[in-house]
């Protein structure tokens, strides 16, 4: 049996222009959902899925991410001296269970390129890719569900979700072979295409931000031409790999938030705040008061 998944790659070099001016001097991965930066949700998902080795692909202006996942000696001793043990635990929980490595993307040449720059760090083993924008609330965690599928099918697995027809042009879209029965939620890929026009989309099954990849993706990406925008798309690399081996998709059992756009980001804040025992009740009351047209306090 092929080795299971030990490493998770987090592409995080993007400029975050959709959230300007908030992202002028701050990485978009550090925007906060309730009280945790977005990227921490993904890292916790990896750890809870049994994947403690984190590879973050960064670029200029992303130092806050490195500081966040580094031990904060002064902060820890400050909290320790004042007996703030709950906060201290919270802070230590960020760094203690993980090993983080960073690699710079240098030029923003697309998601496929971001994966390609991890080639040396990943080596010859299967690995996960987590796009931190997609925050998924699931039990078992989304990545764990995917690893379980990977261990069964022994090939690359992409997370997918059905999207509205008008949204297909924002995603990699997959056509699946319905004649192959792989059990609930798992399908074999027939073809895949990056951000098709609505009329050209082969289905409404969209790739969402979780992948289990095998190391042969690196050669496929090296052989993949840049697209019209000069980028190397992961979807196009996978399309090339499909000539050589079967690929699979898995419909995750969970709730996904696309925090990469403003509306999705706001929905995620509300969703996670309502799941927090300390905030749920007063926050729900506040939301209800808004709904009733009562002036917010």
User: What residues line the site for ligand G1P (CB under 6 A)?
Assistant: 111, 131, 134, 171-172, 194, 206-209, 233-235
Comparing CB distances to ligand G1P, the nearer of 30 and 206 is: 206
> Beta strands 157-162 and 248-251: pairing type?
parallel
Tokens representing residue 289 in the block? 């008061």
Distance CA 132, CA 108 (A): 17
- For residue 278, the tally of other CB atoms under 10 A from its CB is 8
Nearest approach, Cβ of 222 to ligand G1P (angstroms)?
18
Nearest approach, Cβ of 278 to ligand G1P (angstroms)?
31
Comparing CB distances to ligand G1P, the nearer of 79 and 259 is: 259
Nearest approach, Cβ of 6 to ligand G1P (angstroms)?
23
Comparing CB distances to ligand G1P, the nearer of 156 and 209 is: 209
CA distances from 150 to 129, 211, 241, 246, 250 (A): 13, 10, 16, 12, 10
Comparing CB distances to ligand G1P, the nearer of 131 and 143 is: 131
Comparing CB distances to ligand G1P, the nearer of 108 and 282 is: 108
Q: Is the dihedral of CA 180, 182, 184, 190 positive or negative?
A: negative
Q: What are the backbone dihedrals phi and psi of residue 194, each rounded to the nearest 5 degrees, phi first?
A: -85, 125
Rounded-to-5 percentages of helix, strand, coil across the chain: 40, 25, 40
Nearest approach, Cβ of 270 to ligand G1P (angstroms)?
21
Which residues fall within 8 angstroms of residue 285, CB to CB, at 6 or more apart? none
Tokens representing residue 230 in the block? 């000069």
Nearest approach, Cβ of 226 to ligand G1P (angstroms)?
14
Comparing CB distances to ligand G1P, the nearer of 94 and 130 is: 130
Q: What are the backbone dihedrals phi and psi of residue 16, each rounded to the nearest 5 degrees, phi first?
A: 65, 35
Nearest approach, Cβ of 237 to ligand G1P (angstroms)?
10
In order, the DSSP letters of 186-228 are EEEEEEEEES--GGG-S-SEEEEEEEEE-THHHHHHHTPPP-T
Residue whose beta carbon is closest to ligand G1P:
172
Nearest approach, Cβ of 290 to ligand G1P (angstroms)?
30
Comparing CB distances to ligand G1P, the nearer of 16 and 172 is: 172
């Amino acid at each position: 049996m092929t080795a299971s998944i030990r490493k998770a790659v987090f592409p995080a070099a993007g400029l975050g222009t959709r959230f300007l001016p908030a992202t002028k001097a701050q990485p978009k991965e550090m925007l906060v959902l309730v009280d945790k930066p977005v990227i921490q949700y993904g890292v916790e998902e990896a750890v809870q899925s049994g994947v403690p080795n984190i590879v973050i692909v960064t670029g200029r202006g992303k130092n806050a991410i490195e500081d966040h996942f580094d031990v904060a000696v002064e902060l820890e001793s400050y909290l320790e001296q004042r007996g703030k043990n709950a906060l201290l635990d919270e802070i230590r929980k960020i760094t203690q269970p993980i090993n983080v490595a960073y690699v710079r993307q240098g030029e923003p040449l697309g998601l496929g390129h971001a994966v390609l720059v991890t080639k040396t760090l990943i080596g010859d083993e299967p690995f996960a890719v987590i796009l931190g924008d997609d925050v998924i609330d699931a039990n078992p965690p989304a990545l764990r569900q995917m690893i379980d599928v990977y261990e069964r099918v022994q090939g690359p697995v992409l997370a997918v979700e059905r999207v509205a027809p008008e949204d297909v042009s924002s995603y990699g879209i997959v056509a699946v072979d319905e004649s192959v029965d792989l059990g609930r939620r798992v399908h074999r890929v027939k073809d895949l295409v990056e951000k098709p026009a609505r009329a050209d989309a082969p289905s409404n099954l969209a790739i969402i931000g979780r992948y289990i990849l095998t190391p042969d993706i690196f050669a496929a990406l090296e052989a993949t031409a840049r697209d019209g925008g000069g980028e190397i798309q992961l979807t196009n690399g996978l399309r090339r790999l499909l000539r050589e081996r079967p690929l699979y998709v898995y419909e995750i059992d969970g709730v996904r938030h696309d925090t990469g756009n403003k509306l999705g980001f706001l929905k995620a804040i509300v969703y996670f705040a309502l799941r927090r025992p300390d905030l749920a009740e007063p926050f729900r009351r506040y939301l209800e008061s808004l709904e009733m047209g009562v002036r917010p306090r």
